[in-house]
Every structure is written in C-alpha cells, then in structure tokens.
C-alpha cells in the first residue's frame, strides 16, 4: 500500500500556525471575523457550516452565521451583502451555494467585495487565480490540495499532473495553481477519450469528477501520487471518493483517503483566507 497522505495531519499543522497568527492579531486589538451567509435550510450546507464554525473557534476567529429565509428576494439578499461589505469588523464573507432560484449567482458574484470573498466567488478573484496574480483568494478545495502537496514535500515542478474534472470550483483553478508551480498539466473529464491512457501518464493524479470510485487500479501508474477530491456516497450510504481506494492504494506511491483527506483541510484553508483578509485590512 502507498503512503497515506492524511488531511487531518495537514489541517492540524496549519491550524497551529494560524492560531499563532490569530493570537498575534488579537493582541493588537484586531479580532479576525468570518461571516457565513446561508439562504434556506440545506442539510449538506449545515454540516459544512458546523465544521467551519468549530474550526474557526479553535483558531481564534469569530464566526457569525446569517440564516436567511428560502423565499428572500434578490434585492433583500443584496442588501445583506452590501451591509456586510461595509462592516469593517467583518474580514471574510462566505456565501453558501447553491442559492435559491430567485437569486441569481451571476448577479451576486459581482456584488460581494473581492477583498472579503474568501472562497473565490467574485470574478475578480477568479481572474487572479487564472492569471496567477497574487492577492486574491482561490477556492478552498483546490487550495486544500496544494496545502497537502506542500505539507508532504511533493513539489509539482517538472511533474506531469493530470486532473480528472473541469469545474470552476476545483478542476480549472487547481490546474492554474499547479501550472504556477511549474507542473505540466493535463485536464481530463468523464468524456475524455482513452481516459486511462491519460491518467497513467500522471506523476500526480487528482480525481475531482464527482463520480464514485471511477479511478481504478489499471488507470494508475505504479508509484503515482493520487489526490482524491471526490465526496460521494455508495449504495450502502458509505462515504467514498472518486478513487477506488482499496484497488488503487496498492499501486499508488502516495494517496489521500476519503474521508480524512482533502475534505479535512478545506475548513482550515477557509480560516487561513480569513486571517489573510484580516491582515490586508
């Protein structure tokens, strides 16, 4: 079996570093603060929020949750965003998506302050990620992938990185982040012809297509570093990734588990972005 890349270990190390930074800010009278906004009642969003609030509390970040009714109008929602943009005590804003049908994400994304947009909703931050410009905030999940690589000393420079998944939430921004660190990138998806041929070329293989256990052993070259971003549930209700862990772990040189891999790091990355936003003022 390949070495297990524990997301929990990465999250704990990052948490300790961020806690020291948050303590330093508090000593200066500045309290790092995150606002999470949710419209309606979604069980998956509620679970994520619970984890984020807990992690922020452990680090020393104040975290407020604004719960809004499902039938809220778009104008009323924008008023909430504008108030929080203007509130100097709030350093980071995270809007839980998807939003209900009467609220257009294409409108909202232009209204959130890019300086407070800690999960890359604003086109300004998307553009910065895509162009490799500093000073923006990348989405938390691809940032968590990069934190895992850095923690375990896996340098993308000169390596062939194959990403299975092309979403704007994971695949595309992650491609740009790896390219910035001088990896050679191939972006695939579920409709890629001869997908196994592409994935077998990878030194670093990232599965982010949202299809349970689609990456099998015959798709992975011996010794490859495999990062599984997927969160799925099988027919028995058991959480699993996009990688068939039981099969692939015998071939991979290194592999992240699900659960306990990339997902374990994302809420800590969110906290990191809040601290960064706070420092930038």
Q: Residue 160: which CATH number? A: 3.40.50.720
Q: Count up the domains in the chain and report the number.
A: 2
Looking at the domain assignment, is residue 195 inside a domain?
yes
Q: What 8-state DSSP symbol labels residue 218?
A: G
Q: Do 158 and 211 fall within a single domain?
A: yes
The candidate with the shortest Cα–Cα distance to 78, out of 91, 92, 68, 63, is 68
- For 228, the 3-state DSSP assignment is strand
Q: Do 182 and 82 fall within a single domain?
A: no
DSSP assignment of 100-157, as one string?
A: PTTS-HHHHTTTS-TTTBTTS-SHHHHHHHHHT-SSS---HHHHHHHHHHHHTT---T
Contact 209, 236 (CB under 8 A): no
Q: Do 106 and 210 fall within a single domain?
A: no
Q: Do 109 and 145 fall within a single domain?
A: no
Amino acid 26: pLDDT = 97
Q: Do 84 and 180 fall within a single domain?
A: no
Q: Where are the alpha helices (DSSP H) in the chain?
A: 7-27, 43-59, 74-86, 105-108, 123-131, 140-151, 171-180, 195-199, 245-248, 263-280
Q: How far is 7 from 5, CA to CA, in rounded Å? A: 6
Looking at the domain assignment, is residue 9 inside a domain?
no
Block means of pLDDT (10 residues each) for the chain, length 281 residues?
Answer: 93 98 97 97 87 96 97 98 98 96 97 98 96 94 98 98 96 97 96 97 97 97 97 90 96 96 96 97 81
Q: Which residue has the tokens 């921004």?
A: 173
Q: Which residue has the tokens 């000169």?
A: 158
Looking at the domain assignment, is residue 81 inside a domain?
yes
What is the four-CA torsion angle of 110, 114, 118, 122, rounded to 10 degrees? 30
Tokens at residue 42, please?
Answer: 């979604």
Q: How far is 32 from 24, CA to CA, in rounded Å? A: 11
Looking at the domain assignment, is residue 224 inside a domain?
yes
Looking at the domain assignment, is residue 172 inside a domain?
yes
Q: Do 241 and 144 fall within a single domain?
A: yes
| CATH number of residue 69's parent domain | 3.40.50.10860
Q: Do 87 and 194 fall within a single domain?
A: no
Q: Do 112 and 208 fall within a single domain?
A: no
Q: Which residue has the tokens 């691809």?
A: 142
Amino acid 47: pLDDT = 86
Q: Do 212 and 158 fall within a single domain?
A: yes
Range of 242's domain?
140-262
Amino acid 249: pLDDT = 96
Q: Do 86 and 162 fall within a single domain?
A: no
Looking at the domain assignment, is residue 24 inside a domain?
no
Looking at the domain assignment, is residue 218 inside a domain?
yes
Q: What 8-state DSSP symbol labels residue 61?
A: -
Looking at the domain assignment, is residue 128 inside a domain?
no
Burial pattern 121-135, b for ≥16 Cβ within 10 A else e, equals: bbebbbebbbeeeee
Amino acid 34: pLDDT = 98
Amino acid 181: pLDDT = 97
Contact 20, 242 (CB under 8 A): no
Amino acid 44: pLDDT = 81
Tokens at residue 92, please?
Answer: 């980071």
Amino acid 235: pLDDT = 86
Q: Do 53 and 161 fall within a single domain?
A: no
Last residue of a domain, one of 116, 149, 172: 116
Q: Do 154 and 112 fall within a single domain?
A: no
């Amino acid at each position: 079996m390949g070495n297990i890349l524990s997301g929990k270990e990465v999250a704990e190390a990052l948490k300790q570093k961020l806690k020291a930074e948050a303590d330093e800010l508090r000593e200066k009278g500045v309290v790092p603060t995150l606002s999470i906004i949710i419209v309606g009642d979604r069980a998956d969003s509620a679970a994520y929020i619970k984890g984020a609030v807990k992690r922020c509390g452990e680090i020393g970040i104040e975290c407020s949750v604004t719960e809004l009714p499902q039938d809220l109008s778009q104008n009323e929602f924008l008023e909430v965003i504008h108030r929080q943009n203007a509130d100097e005590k709030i350093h980071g804003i995270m809007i839980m998506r998807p939003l209900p049908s009467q609220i257009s994400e294409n409108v909202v994304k232009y209204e959130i302050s890019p300086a407070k947009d800690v999960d890359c909703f604003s086109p300004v931050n998307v553009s910065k990620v895509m162009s490799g410009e500093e000073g923006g905030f990348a989405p938390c999940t691809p940032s968590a992938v990069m934190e895992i690589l850095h923690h375990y000393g896996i340098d993308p420079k000169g390596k062939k990185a194959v990403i299975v998944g092309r979403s704007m939430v994971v695949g595309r921004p992650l491609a740009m982040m790896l390219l910035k660190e001088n990896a050679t990138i191939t972006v695939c998806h579920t409709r890629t012809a001869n997908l196994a041929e592409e994935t077998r070329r990878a030194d670093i293989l990232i599965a982010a297509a949202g299809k349970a256990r689609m990456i099998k052993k015959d798709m992975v070259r011996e010794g490859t570093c495999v990062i599984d971003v997927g969160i799925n549930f099988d027919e028995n209700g058991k959480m699993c990734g996009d990688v068939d862990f039981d099969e692939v772990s015998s071939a991979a040189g290194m592999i992240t588990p699900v659960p306990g891999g990339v997902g374990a790091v994302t809420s800590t990355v969110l906290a990191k972005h809040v601290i960064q936003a706070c420092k930038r003022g």
